[in-house]
Homo-oligomer: A and B are copies of this chain.
Amino acid sequence: MATRAGRQGGQGVNEIPLPALFTQAKDVTLAVLHRRLDEEGFEGIRYSHGAVFRFIDAEGSRLTVLAERSGLSKQALGEVVTELERHGYVERTTDPDDHRAKIIRLTERGTEAQVAAARILGDIERRWAQHLGRDRITGMRRVLEEVVRFERG
């Protein structure tokens, strides 16, 4: 409904701009992921929660560590953790060895959500592979990774 082409630059730039293309790909993927998670009973999960699910250690991790790994400020990550805690996906415990720090740990439900998310993302990619070609999808992955590495120097 909003797809337009042509008419842009001076010469014929008929392609959708790269940033928009990447954004659309992200958005559709995320929409499917969150819908499925919701259907499986994992409610209230949002994009930024991935900062915890992706980077947390099996034994639990400190807030500061998660903030570093995800690139978020510790304040922002603290907020994310509070929200996940409210939904029962993680719990905060004071580190017995360092009473300043708290250890963030996945609850059982949190681990289930983590596993489900990984499985769903795998399903999505497999479905794409079936419909569009296995090599093309794995190729896209590799090219994207290389592009990111290339531009970051």
Residues of chain A at the chain B interface (Cβ within 8 Å) = 1-2, 4, 7-11, 13, 15-26, 28-33, 47, 50, 53-55, 57-58, 68-71, 111, 114-115, 117-119, 121-122, 124-125, 128, 131-132, 136-137, 139-141, 143-148, 150-152
Contact = CB atoms under 8 A, between A and B. Distances in A.
What is the total number of copies of this protein in its complex?
2
Main secondary structure of the interface of A (DSSP, over half): helix
A76 B69 CA distance: 33
A146 B132 CA distance: 8
A143 B140 contact: yes
Contacts of A30: 19
16 contacts: A2-B69, A7-B58, A9-B114, A13-B118, A13-B122, A15-B141, A17-B118, A19-B50, A21-B148, A24-B148, A25-B144, A26-B26, A28-B147, A32-B151, A136-B143, A139-B139
